[in-house]
Amino acid sequence: MDTTLFRLDGKVAAVIGAGSGIGEAVAVGAAAQGATVACLDANESAARTVAGRIGRAASAASVDVRGADDVAAAFGAIQKQHGRLDVVVCTPGVNVRKPLLSYTEDDFDRVVAVNLKGTFNVLREAGRLMTAQRGGSIVIFSSIRSLVVEPGQSVYAATKAGIVQMVRTAAAEFGPSGVRVNAIGPGVVETPLTAQIKENADWYNAYANKSALKRWATADEMVGPTLFLASDAASYVTGTILFADGGWTAADGRFTPPGM
């Protein structure tokens, strides 16, 4: 067996959302597997802190995925510095947990702007670079909410399902140029995005008990699935979603969050 299949030696990886949570864990993990990592985040200070932890194999810059020009400039700078861009991982997402009848247009626009438009911007700009260089791997974060929902998850779930369809389309369009595109579907992961849930013991424990493993995931547990898709170990994997959800989508069950 080729023991280098999961390595990223010689590859240049851009991790968006690298300033905290899953993105931070993936950036550190990619560097540990030999990649040169560009830590990108809307919070440039946080990205620089993570890059500092990694060391000489990392750089940092700010990026707002809602702006196509911002994404293009960030990727262009990486390509100019290194001559190529082999891996792009996009983790950012926002959620406004409200019943549909309480949702405002501003709430809708906020969630769609980051989750759906942001993903579109990343896919398009990464695709332009990678199809031109005839190779690369793009990994976008979706969610279990692309398949299953609960009260208060309407727009978030819609964007996460939309991400999967964009990933599939990008895989079909970029594949002839040797570019692979896949999604990760995390279950419940302890990150800043889920801090609200952790503060409510009943809510937190209900989610833990919903999965087959009866616990939450750590951000570090998303590194392996992500880097698998980024690496040559997944050289014939494209257009799919890999659920890293502790068996959440395999088992039936329901919990209504407080206030829903």
Domain total in the chain = 1
Please check whether residue 22 lies inside any domain of the structure. yes
pLDDT tens digits, 4-62: 899 999 999 999 999 999 999 999 999 999 999 999 999 999 999 999 999 999 999 99
Q: Mean pLDDT throughout 226-245?
A: 98
Please check whether residue 24 lies inside any domain of the structure. yes
Please check whether residue 253 lies inside any domain of the structure. no
Res 256: pLDDT:
65
Q: Distance from CA of residue 30 to its chain's centroid?
A: 14
Distance CA 166, CA 228 (A): 20
pLDDT tens digits, 128-183: 999 999 999 999 999 999 999 999 999 999 999 999 999 999 999 999 999 999 99
Please check whether residue 259 lies inside any domain of the structure. no
- pLDDT for 212 beyond 70: yes
Q: Mean pLDDT throughout 73-89?
A: 97
Helix (H) or strand (E) holding 205: helix 201-210
Q: Which residue has the tokens 């990694």?
A: 54
Catalytically active residues, by annotation: 156
Q: Is 90 left (phi over 0), alpha (psi -120 to 50) or beta?
A: beta
Retrieve residue 5's tokens. Answer: 């299949």
Res 255: pLDDT:
62
Please check whether residue 4 lies inside any domain of the structure. no
Q: Mean pLDDT throughout 79-101?
A: 96
Please check whether residue 252 lies inside any domain of the structure. no
- C-alpha triplet 193, 196, 115: angle, nearest 5°: 30
Q: Looking at residue 57, which CATH number applies to its domain? A: 3.40.50.720
37: nearest Cα among 22, 62, 55? 55
Report the DSSP beta bridge partners of residue 140: 90, 183
Retrieve residue 161's tokens. Answer: 């399902």
- Burial class for 28, CB neighbours closer than 10 Å (0-12, 13-18, 19+): buried
pTM score > 0.85 for this model? yes
Please check whether residue 114 lies inside any domain of the structure. yes
Task: Compute and round to an integer the Cα radius of gyration of the chain.
Answer: 18
17: nearest Cα among 84, 76, 69, 71? 71
- Domain carrying residue 161: 12-184+221-247
One-letter amino acid for residue 168 of the chain: R
Q: Which residue has the tokens 């013991």?
A: 201
Please check whether residue 216 lies inside any domain of the structure. no
Residues 6+ apart with CB under 8 A from 258: 200, 202, 203
